[in-house]
A and B are shown apart, each in its own frame.
Chain A
Amino acid sequence: MAHPSVAPVSGPAIKVPAVEIPTIPLLQLGTWVVFYGLLAMLAIFFVSADQGAISLPAGNAVHEWVHDARHLLGYPCH
């Protein structure tokens, strides 16, 4: 086999610039996730399920008002 021998490339070590992305401590983030998470789920509940499976308050005003969004965002409506 007369392949030309390829010398191993051995240049000076390439300096990879350190791409340092700061992180947020998960414990600090946890508080936000709990409080904002509850608020967000409450908002989603009123649009997606209220006065369908569970009623708070009684009646159909919330259901009727967000009715089209409930259907078009894919939530079970009636």
Chain B
Amino acid sequence: MSKVNPGRKPALTPAAFLVRGLVAGLLAGLVAFGVAFALGEPHVDHAIGLEEAAAEHLTPEEVAAEEAAAAEPGMVEISRENQKSFGLLTGTAAVGTALGGLTALAAAAVVGRLGRLSARGSTLLVAGIGFVAVALVPFVKYPATPPAVGDPETISDRTAEYFALVLISVLAAIGAVVVGRRLLGRFDGVDAGLIAAGGFVAVVSAAGLLLPSVNEVGAFPADLLWQFRRSSILTLASLWATIAVILTVLVGRLHDAVTADAQRRALAAGL
């Protein structure tokens, strides 16, 4: 009696997770764009205003050097209107989609492997770990800087240090999940999770202490710096929260469909 449809058997596959992650990530990029545009852009504009006011005090030689650099091939000028709308959207959508897919593949690796944690619980946990490891830890050591803050001479070092911390943080998070899983036999799930989280905090704290600090804020207004940084971490939080919620819903529904399908087949086989 039951309609068995062998062509469309729902299955937990890497592709099924990835597609859901890309969808969740793209939506997260749109949400992050909205938050960044509404909360962050006023501060970016304010900081650029300060940058331009400071440029009025450049020496003629410095002005000539800037004009020569701007005249080199490949140099373009993009209007603020485009930067804060389509440019910002391109960036948040690209990063959101990329991170959504990576989160989904990480969820695909742990679903069914974290003790009695459900598919939904595992996915939510992975996205939460993603926010902490990829966004929060780097932000605490190397917080976002508005335009007009930062010495162009040190951009290579600062970029290398930032991504070194991201790499250490992500590896520490993966290590914590692997260790936490091994502790499941000896400890209760929450205890194992807390021990693993403690290990993660210890590793990233040590990395944060060993990596060089950046002190390039100078005379930039403290209020504006705080407001910009608050809008930046809220943008990142909105991105990850959207990935977490949408991916958890989509993976949860997929899991329900797979389970229902398996039960139907088992029932059909038993009759």
User: Are B14's CB and A28's CB within 8 A?
Assistant: yes
Q: Which of B59-67, B87-95, B188-196, B199-207 makes up part of the contact surface?
A: B87-95
User: Does chain A have a CB within 8 A of B1?
Assistant: no
Q: C-beta contact mask, B109-137 vs A, less than 8 Å → 1, else 0?
A: 10111001011000000000000000100
| Chain A residues numbered 35-61 whose CB sits less than 8 Å from any CB in chain B | 36-37, 39-41, 43-44, 46-49, 52-53, 57-61
- A44 close to B98 (CB less than 8 A): yes
- The one of B78, B91, B108 in contact with A73, judged by C-beta atoms closer than 8 angstroms, is B91
Task: Give the complex CA separation of A28 and B16 in angstroms.
Answer: 13
Q: Distance in Å from the Cβ of A35 to the closest Cβ of chain B?
A: 10
Contact string, B155-193, partner A, CB cutoff 8 A, digits 1/0?
110111011000000000000000000000000000000
Give the residue of B17, B119, B139 whose beta carbon is less than 8 angstroms from that of A74.
B139
Known: A44-B95, A61-B74. A72 touches B235 (CB 8 A): yes
Q: In whole angstroms, how far apart are the Cα atoms of A43 and B15 in the complex? A: 19
Cβ contact within 8 Å between A73 and B232: yes
Q: CB-CB < 8 A to A41: which residues of B? A: 98
Number of interface residues of A (CB under 8 A): 44
A70 and B11 alpha carbons, distance in the complex (Å): 37
B18 at the interface (CB under 8 A from A): yes
In addition to A29-B105, A72-B235, 14 A-B residue pairs with Cβ atoms within 8 Å of each other are A24-B14, A24-B108, A32-B108, A36-B18, A37-B102, A52-B159, A53-B156, A64-B83, A64-B87, A67-B83, A69-B91, A73-B91, A76-B158, A77-B145
Name B residues whose Cβ lies closer than 8 Å to a Cβ of A: 12-15, 17-18, 32, 36, 40-41, 44, 72-78, 82-84, 87-88, 90-92, 94-95, 97-99, 101-102, 105, 108-109, 111-113, 116, 118-119, 135, 138-139, 142-147, 150, 152, 155-156, 158-160, 162-163, 228, 231-233, 235-236, 239, 255, 258, 262
